[in-house]
């Protein structure tokens, strides 16, 4: 649907979602057909797309297919991945494929299938602003053409913005370096380069380095370089119990920690959410092994523990990257023709919130204060609810961008908006006890006995 299709004009919606990435799409799916609940989800794009700049051939999801829009809350939903497979008569092929980690292409196709059919989703609908109308006690959501739609609650699912390190800001603005999110759009322009540098060792950096290696194959091609500040190319934590950091139990525990502890914890947990998968690292190794058959040169350099302190245009074209090796302190300069920054994403405060800026209770670093229901702290007189998805790393921890927690978070928001349990959520989701164990009476008795001195 687009903006030309009629919006129900003035009747307030219970919930309007801004942005239709996987997280608000999950909320739209879980809210679909809930009796008495009026919801509407708007996205600026003409149709559902999922990170098109990084849709490299064969790239796979990092979560199993059960992390779809709904299944971890309601596996009986008509919007599950299995329902999508049934709609396309692909259940048997999927069953025999035994691939629980979908290709990103198939995940995007599944999400688009849902987005095109959900009656509460509209594309080509950029939200310009959200403001508070004290008279009606409603939010007003502004669309192009001066149209506004009133809502009792708004949930922002506008995604994150690419991070460009300070050393590269001017060059990125000038178009001399590109962020990973633009990779497929600029890949053809790299074919003439004799030296290409990838910066950053997360999953995107690993996938781009691997794609460049594979495209070069055994033929002569550009010298490839992979630079990362991380001390080692350590793989993403994927042990069964380690993955329990991506449960609602851990999120609740993290939310209850003092702010200072949370601030220290998130960067220390980089291997949980920022590293590359062991499979991709193994594929890179295999590609290098194949290329060097019979002692042929790898024409590839991997530089961990290396900070790029400055980047400038080179005297004969290309760029000069001024690097420092963090353990030895030695400086060196790299000359390269093209640079791709796989330097991640972070939450942003969208301009559409400007009219609400004075009503939000920002923390000292200008971020939202977000409660356990994902509701943003507002001035007490603003009775409508503002919720966020994927902007609460600082309050909810490493699971914030994880698709495996998306359905649970969406259901939590929906239950809060409705003021009743629309979707029942499990009381316990991990075997690990995060924090201090609660003393059961049996435990207390046993330990009391153990501690009682003998007469």
Binding stretches for ligand FAD (CB under 6 A): 18-24, 42-45, 50-51, 54, 61-63, 126-127, 157-159, 204, 350, 352, 389-390, 401-404
* Least Å from the CB of residue 171 to ligand FAD: 21
- With tokens 């058959």, the residue in question is 293
* Least Å from the CB of residue 227 to ligand FAD: 20
Taking CA atoms, 348 is separated from 56, 156, 302, 331, in Å, by 26, 11, 31, 33
HEC string for 153-177: EEEECCCCEECCCHHHHHHHHCCCC
Query: CB 222: neighbour CB atoms within 10 A?
Result: 21
Closer CB to ligand FAD, 108 or 195, in the complex: 108
* Least Å from the CB of residue 44 to ligand FAD: 4
Closer CB to ligand FAD, 15 or 319, in the complex: 15
Q: Environment class of residue 92 by beta-carbon count within 10 Å: exposed (0-12), middle (13-18) or buried (19+)?
A: exposed
Query: What are the φ and ψ backbone dihedral angles of 440, each rounded to 5 degrees?
Result: -75, 160
Closer CB to ligand FAD, 2 or 445, in the complex: 2
Cβ neighbours for 39, distance < 8 A, ≥ 6 positions apart: 13, 14, 15, 16, 17, 27, 28, 31, 120
* Least Å from the CB of residue 67 to ligand FAD: 7
* Least Å from the CB of residue 211 to ligand FAD: 12
* Least Å from the CB of residue 354 to ligand FAD: 12
Closer CB to ligand FAD, 141 or 334, in the complex: 141
Closer CB to ligand FAD, 132 or 273, in the complex: 273
* Least Å from the CB of residue 101 to ligand FAD: 8
Closer CB to ligand FAD, 62 or 77, in the complex: 62
- With tokens 């959501």, the residue in question is 141
Closer CB to ligand FAD, 62 or 339, in the complex: 62
Query: What are the φ and ψ backbone dihedral angles of 331, each rounded to 5 degrees?
Result: -105, 150
Closer CB to ligand FAD, 87 or 163, in the complex: 163
Query: CB 365: neighbour CB atoms within 10 A?
Result: 8
> Helix, strand or coil for residue 53?
helix
Contact assessment for residue 37 and residue 420, using Cβ atoms and an 8 Å cutoff: no
* Least Å from the CB of residue 123 to ligand FAD: 9
Closer CB to ligand FAD, 153 or 204, in the complex: 204
Closer CB to ligand FAD, 107 or 334, in the complex: 107
Closer CB to ligand FAD, 282 or 301, in the complex: 282
* Least Å from the CB of residue 400 to ligand FAD: 9
CA 305 to chain CA centroid, nearest Å? 25
Closer CB to ligand FAD, 24 or 39, in the complex: 24
Torsion of CA 348, 350, 355, 358, to 10 degrees: 0
How many Å apart are CA 339 and CA 103, to the nearest integer? 27
* Least Å from the CB of residue 63 to ligand FAD: 4
How many Å apart are CA 420 and CA 34, to the nearest integer? 12
Q: What is the DSSP letter of 182?
A: G
**What residues form DSSP beta bridges with 345?**
162
- Spatial CA neighbour of 31 closest among 408, 423, 334, 296: 423
Q: Environment class of residue 437 by beta-carbon count within 10 Å: exposed (0-12), middle (13-18) or buried (19+)?
A: exposed
- Spatial CA neighbour of 193 closest among 171, 210, 172, 215: 215
How many Å apart are CA 263 and CA 367, to the nearest integer? 13
* Least Å from the CB of residue 417 to ligand FAD: 17
């Amino acid at each position: 649907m687009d903006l030309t299709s009629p919006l129900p004009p003035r009747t307030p919606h219970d919930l309007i979602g801004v942005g239709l990435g996987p997280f608000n799409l999950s909320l739209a799916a879980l809210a679909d057909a809930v009796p008495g609940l009026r919801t509407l989800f708007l996205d600026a794009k003409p149709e559902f797309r999922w990170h098109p700049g990084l849709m490299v051939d064969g790239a796979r999801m990092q979560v199993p297919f059960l992390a779809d829009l709904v299944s971890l809350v309601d596996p009986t939903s008509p919007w599950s991945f299995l329902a999508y497979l049934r709609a396309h008569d692909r259940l048997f092929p999927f069953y025999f494929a035994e691939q629980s980690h979908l290709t990103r292409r198939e995940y995007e196709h599944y999400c688009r299938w849902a987005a095109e059919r959900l009656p509460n989703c509209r594309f080509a609908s950029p939200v310009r602003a959200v403001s508070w109308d004290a008279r009606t006690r409603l939010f007003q959501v502004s669309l192009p053409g001066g149209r506004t739609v009133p809502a009792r609650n708004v949930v922002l699912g506008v995604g994150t913005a690419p991070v460009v390190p300070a050393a590269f800001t001017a060059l990125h603005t000038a178009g001399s370096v590109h962020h990973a999110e633009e990779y497929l759009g600029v890949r053809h322009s790299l074919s003439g380069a004799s030296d290409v540098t990838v910066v950053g060792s997360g999953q995107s950096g690993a996938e781009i380095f691997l794609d460049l290696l594979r495209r070069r194959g055994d033929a002569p091609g550009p010298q490839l370089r992979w630079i990362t500040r991380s001390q080692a190319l350590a793989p993403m934590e994927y042990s069964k119990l380690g993955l329990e950091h991506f449960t609602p139990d851990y999120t609740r525990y993290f939310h209850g920690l003092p702010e200072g502890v949370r601030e220290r914890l998130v960067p220390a947990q980089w291997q949980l959410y920022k590293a590359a998968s062991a499979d991709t690292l193994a594929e890179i190794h295999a590609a290098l092994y194949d290329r060097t058959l019979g002692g042929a040169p790898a024409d590839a350099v991997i530089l961990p523990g290396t900070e790029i302190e400055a980047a400038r245009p080179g005297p004969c074209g290309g760029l000069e990257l001024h690097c420092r090796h963090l353990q030895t302190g030695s400086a060196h300069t790299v000359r390269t023709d093209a640079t791709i920054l796989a330097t991640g994403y972070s939450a942003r405060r969208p301009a559409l919130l400007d009219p609400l800026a004075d009503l939000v209770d920002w923390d000292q670093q200008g971020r939202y204060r977000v409660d356990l229901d994902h509701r943003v702290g507002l001035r007490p007189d603003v009775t409508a609810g503002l919720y966020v998805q994927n902007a609460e790393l600082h309050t909810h921890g490493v699971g914030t961008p994880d698709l495996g927690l998306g359905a649970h978070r969406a259901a939590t928001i929906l239950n809060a908006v409705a003021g009743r349990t629309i979707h029942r959520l499990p009381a316990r989701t991990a075997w690990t006890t995060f924090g201090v164990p609660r003393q059961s009476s049996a435990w207390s008795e046993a330990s009391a006995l153990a501690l009682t001195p003998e007469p």
